Amino acid sequence: MVNKKNLKVMDLFAGCGGLSLGLEQAGFTPVFVNELNDHARATYIQNRVDKHEWLAEPGFHSSDVKGMVLDKKFLPALEKRFANDFGIAHGELDLLVGGPPCQGFSGIGHRRSYSVDKEQLPSNHLYQDMAAIIHRLRPRAFLFENVRGLLHSKWTADGRKGEIWTEILDTYRKIPGYSVAYSLVYAKDYGVPQNRPRVLMVGVRDDVGGSLTREGNPEDAVKRGYLPPGGALDPPDLIELLGDLVDSSYENGGATTHYPSAARTKRFRNSCAPR
């Protein structure tokens, strides 16, 4: 099964697997996936089953994160499967990641959500379930991802601005033995052709965090070395992003059946030749 030398990650609220894809490219191997939507979860598994065949087995994927927490047998049984199949003893899971559903905190969700207070929406409390799983499994590190609006959201219309984030941050800081920091990051600063601001909270277990920088603003995960600094790659503009789709020889009624040219970015524009 999985190479025991590879870094192992458990992905909660995984969708069809965008975050796992990036982690796989960084050297991680997914050993468990959770996603409520059946179609998204099936897509996640189908895209990986040739390389990570265990994900198709019932014991290595789940739909309901609350069921994972409320069923007192689930997480102990999962730890046994991790140990037997991957050699992952308690506390040896390298990374646990998750982005709990954010509709109640997003800009669009914010404008339509006060007909029902945020505190009444069950999906807005799933961060507690993620924290409970971290508390039980004790991964070496965890990553929590969500929308920028989470930093300013209120539980009720009369609540205090930012009270939800304060409560979430306190929940994760109360998990014993972890150093926690967060940053607001922008995808454009990492070479992505999209602004896409996201809150990233990182927790590193104290016994494995000695090599990380502990200086600067204690809330800033980038300054503390928990997240990589952006700016190394300039985001491509629309011509660079979509220019390889332009077929100069196209005629009305015809068809373009292949990419007319190679992908073009500022770094590779001079080296890419038409296919």
Q: From start to end of the chain, where are the E strands? A: 7-12, 28-34, 61-62, 95-98, 141-147, 178-186, 197-205
Place of tokens 């390298």: 94
**CA–CA distances in Å: residue 215 to residues 221, 223, 226:** 10, 7, 11
CA dihedral 55, 141, 18, 70 (to 10 degrees): 60
- End-to-end CA gap in the chain: 38
What distance in Å separates the CA atoms of residue 57 and residue 62, rounded to the nearest whole number?
A: 10
CB contact at 8 A, 6 and 26: no
**CA–CA distances in Å: residue 59 to residues 3, 79, 81, 231, 234:** 19, 11, 8, 40, 42
What distance in Å separates the CA atoms of residue 125 and residue 101, rounded to the nearest whole number?
A: 9
What distance in Å separates the CA atoms of residue 131 and residue 127, rounded to the nearest whole number?
A: 6
102 is catalytic: yes
**Burial of 170 per CB tally in 10 Å (0-12, 13-18, 19+):** exposed
Q: Which member of 12, 14, 93, 102 is catalytic?
A: 102
Q: Which residues are catalytic?
A: 102
